[in-house]
């Protein structure tokens, strides 16, 4: 092994020439380590595979290796192709790859992939915040880049930018039930992944190499204080003033391509620009007005996502729906398909539409009255205990409690909502970060009479104090550490700060905000911009059961809720403008998962492939995504 200086950090290169580790200036490891778990030397940085019409190959040990004072040169033999790699270290770290056809016949390259195993892993909140990174990937052709930022949001971050050639896709390997939701997997960067997923990211090119011809790409890595500093060092071919607009509106473009784009049809539009040699691409969304989306979605839910074949009040419950078969889905033992849990988002959407005077009011009232009957008879006990669903009695999942309290508030049952929250805390809720707690407790504290109002306030303030004392050692939830722990934490702290400013130090909020913002970056794709990384929900909630990055995942709206509620006295004017822009981008991005006919998808699995399975696909299941519309309506 050789160790090379790299700016204020170091790079460790193994005896086979692959990069084994990158050490951050603060000492943390940027790449996955070979710890007997998911990672091994077979997935080391710089190794990979090629798929061609004349055979496919993985490359690992080079046929030639030459050490130099500032780096290393490698040669891999891949059938009729050879891959030359040069690595140079110093203030910057530069890698050049050249794939050459040494045969006598043309070779069509359908995929070429390089492993970049970032340490995007959740072992605990403290280990994540102090020893892991979020890897934000953008494979937009010539404008491709990766931003690896420490999970606590501190600098510097590691920025990779393409200097030569094009990258059009990224894929994920090593996602299995055994690794579950606490590791993102191995990320592979692709010049193209046409052979496996030709449609991905707006279309994958096929590369044909004539005899003697080659394809070359170069990327450069450096340490940057923050993401704006990284972008200041780049010159993209194309950009946009925003990435989402209503149909018929104009999005203004910058760079070498067209000056504007619009569409009269809803959907994602990929826009390209070229300088004559290289091409880059962005993705924008044109959507229907929010009222139209919400009303069509409610119509679809009422028509398709209940079970009228049942004779009791379960006929009023809302359930998942398979857009391919046209059938509702029976949950059985898979509780993420149940008639409760996250599916209550559909009932809350009906309430939001009803309360605005939209839709058919008598029909909405009838549907919500039926759902309330279902809730009383099958889900919420008299003492406020929330059962998991109508089948699994006796199992308590704390996430469910505030959601059903929110529903009862919407039906005018404040006392019932208070009983649910009292039960939540009776069952250990002060050690747990359920969603929407801060706003619900705040609302009940202002609407209930004493002593109930005071009790809700006490719940809120004591809960906030408990988690301030935890510091960065948050109790594990269904995932060891995730955006939907940090966002509810901040939502709770903001609510407590507002209701009891003398008891909650604003500095405790400010210190934790970078934990949340670090989960997202600002890639020029509507599915990605400011949308937090979540990489497991396609497996738990979808029919395809695909692991891998879900963009956008609807719980990204939790970040938008925090940004909207953030006390403006705790930020300066530029930060406040950023919070506003990021929140709006998140809410608009999630509209991509709703179709013009009211159908929806619970998960868009973004990578070109996951474990070799073609992805960049919308799961056919409509399940729990309606929370995105609920929050879009709540937050305006």
- What angle separates helix 627-635 from helix 344-355, to the nearest 10 degrees? 30
Identify the structural domains of the chain with CATH numbers, from first to last: 2-237 (2.70.98.40), 245-287 (no CATH)
Give the Cα separation of 383 and 595 in Å (integer): 40
As to burial, measured by CB atoms within 10 angstroms (0-12 exposed, 13-18 middle, 19+ buried), residue 596 is middle
In the numeric block, the tokens 């599916």 are attached to 343
Q: What pLDDT score was predicted for residue 473?
A: 97
- Name the residue among 549, 541, 498, 540 with its Cα closest to residue 521: 549
* Distance set, CA 124 to CA 129, 472, 537 (Å): 8, 9, 19
- Name the residue among 47, 34, 119 with its Cα closest to residue 83: 47
Q: What pLDDT score was predicted for residue 176?
A: 85
Helix (H, G, I), strand (E, B) or coil at 261: strand
CB 537, CB 553: distance < 8 Å: yes
18: part of which helix (H) or strand (E)? Answer: none
Q: What pLDDT score was predicted for residue 619?
A: 98
Q: What pLDDT score was predicted for residue 169?
A: 98
Q: What pLDDT score was predicted for residue 394?
A: 85
Which one-letter DSSP state was computed for residue 361?
H
Q: What is the DSSP string of 42-104?
A: GG-BT-EEEEEBTEEEEE-S-SEEEEETTEEEEEEEETTEEEEEEEE-SSSEEEEEEEEE-SS
In sequence order, the 6+-apart residues with CB closer than 8 A to the CB of 7 are: 25, 91, 92, 93, 222, 223
Helix (H, G, I), strand (E, B) or coil at 262: coil
Query: Nearest-5° angle of CA 217, CA 218, CA 219?
Result: 130
Give the Cα separation of 233 and 589 in Å (integer): 27
CB 173, CB 100: distance < 8 Å: no
- Name the residue among 526, 581, 586, 577 with its Cα closest to residue 555: 586
* Distance set, CA 450 to CA 301, 405, 413, 422, 458 (Å): 39, 19, 16, 15, 12
* Distance set, CA 394 to CA 169, 387, 390, 443 (Å): 46, 6, 10, 29
Give the Cα separation of 189 and 171 in Å (integer): 7
Q: What pLDDT score was predicted for residue 332?
A: 84
Q: What is the DSSP string of 158-207?
A: EEEEEEES-B-EEEEE---TTTTTSB--EEEEEEE-TTT-TTGGG----E
Q: What pLDDT score was predicted for residue 177?
A: 84
Give the Cα separation of 117 and 386 in Å (integer): 41
Which one-letter DSSP state was computed for residue 430?
G
- Compute the Cα dihedral for 426, 427, 428, 433 and give only its sign: negative
CB 255, CB 274: distance < 8 Å: no
Q: Model's pTM, two decimal places?
A: 0.97
As to burial, measured by CB atoms within 10 angstroms (0-12 exposed, 13-18 middle, 19+ buried), residue 130 is middle
As to burial, measured by CB atoms within 10 angstroms (0-12 exposed, 13-18 middle, 19+ buried), residue 50 is buried
Q: Are strands 267-274 and 64-68 parallel, antiparallel or unpaired?
A: unpaired
Residue spans of the chain under pLDDT 50: none
Give the Cα separation of 171 and 617 in Å (integer): 13
């Amino acid at each position: 092994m050789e160790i090379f200086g790299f700016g204020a950090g170091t790079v460790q290169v193994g005896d086979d020439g692959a990069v084994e580790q990158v050490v951050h200036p603060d000492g943390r490891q940027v790449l996955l380590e070979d710890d007997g778990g998911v990672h091994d030397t077979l997935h080391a940085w710089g190794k990979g595979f090629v798929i061609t019409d004349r055979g496919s190959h993985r490359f690992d040990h080079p046929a030639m290796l030459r050490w130099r004072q500032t780096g290393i040169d490698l040669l891999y033999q891949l059938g009729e192709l050879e891959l030359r790699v040069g690595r140079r270290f110093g203030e910057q770290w530069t890698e050049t790859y050249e794939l050459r056809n040494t045969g006598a016949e043309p070779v069509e390259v359908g995929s070429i992939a390089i492993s970049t195993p970032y340490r995007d892993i959740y072992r605990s909140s403290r280990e994540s915040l102090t020893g892991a990174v979020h890897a934000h990937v953008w494979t937009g052709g010539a404008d491709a880049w990766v931003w690896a930022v420490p999970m606590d949001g501190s600098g510097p971050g590691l920025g990779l930018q393409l200097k030569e050639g094009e990258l059009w896709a990224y894929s994920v390997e090593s996602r299995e039930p055994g690794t579950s939701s606490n590791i993102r997997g191995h990320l592979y960067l692709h010049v193209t992944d046409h052979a496996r997923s030709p449609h991905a990211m707006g279309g994958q090119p096929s590369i044909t190499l004539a005899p003697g011809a080659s394809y070359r790409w170069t990327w450069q890595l450096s340490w940057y204080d923050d993401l704006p500093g990284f972008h200041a060092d780049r010159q993209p071919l194309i950009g946009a003033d925003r990435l989402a607009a209503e149909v018929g509106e104009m999005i203004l473009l910058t760079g070498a391509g067209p000056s504007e784009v619009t569409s009269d049809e809803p959907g994602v539009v990929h826009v390209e620009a070229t300088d004559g040699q290289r091409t880059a691409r962005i993705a924008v969304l044109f959507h229907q007005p929010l009222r139209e989306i919400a009303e069509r979605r409610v119509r679809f839910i009422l028509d398709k996502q209940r079970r009228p074949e049942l004779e009791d009040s379960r006929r009023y419950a809302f359930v998942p729906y398979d857009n391919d078969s046209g059938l509702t889905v029976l949950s059985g033992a898979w509780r993420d398909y149940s008639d409760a849990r996250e599916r209550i988002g559909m009932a809350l959407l009906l309430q939001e539409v009803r309360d605005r005077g939209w839709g058919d009011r008598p029909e909405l009232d009838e549907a919500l009255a039926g759902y309330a009957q279902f809730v009383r008879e099958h889900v919420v006990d008299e003492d406020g205990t929330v059962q998991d669903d109508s089948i699994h009695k006796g199992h308590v999942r704390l996430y469910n409690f505030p959601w059903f309290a929110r529903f009862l508030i919407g039906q005018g049952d404040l006392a019932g909502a208070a009983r649910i929250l009292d039960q939540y805390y009776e069952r250990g809720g002060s050690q747990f970060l359920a969603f929407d707690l801060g706003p619900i407790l705040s609302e009940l504290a202002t609407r209930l009479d004493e002593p109930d109002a005071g009790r809700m306030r006490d719940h809120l303030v004591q809960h906030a104090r408990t988690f301030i004392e935890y510091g960065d050692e948050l109790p594990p939830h269904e995932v060891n550490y995730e955006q939907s722990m940090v966002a509810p934490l901040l939502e709770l702290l903001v609510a407590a700060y507002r209701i009891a400013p003398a008891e909650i130090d604003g500095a405790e909020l400010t210190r934790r905000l970078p934990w949340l913002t670090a989960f997202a970056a600002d890639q020029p794709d509507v599915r990605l911009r400011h949308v937090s990384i979540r990489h497991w929900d396609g497996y738990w909630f979808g029919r395809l059961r695909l692991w891998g990055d879900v963009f956008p995942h609807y719980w990204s709206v939790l970040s938008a809720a925090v940004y909207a509620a953030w006390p403006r006295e705790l930020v300066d004017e530029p930060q406040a403008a950023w919070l506003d822009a990021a929140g709006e981008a998140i809410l608009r991005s999630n509209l991509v998962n709703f179709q013009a006919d009211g159908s929806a998808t619970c998960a868009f699995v973004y990578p070109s492939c996951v474990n070799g399975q073609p992805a960049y696909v919308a799961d056919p299941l409509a399940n729990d995504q309606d929370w995105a519309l609920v929050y879009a309506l709540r937050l305006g």
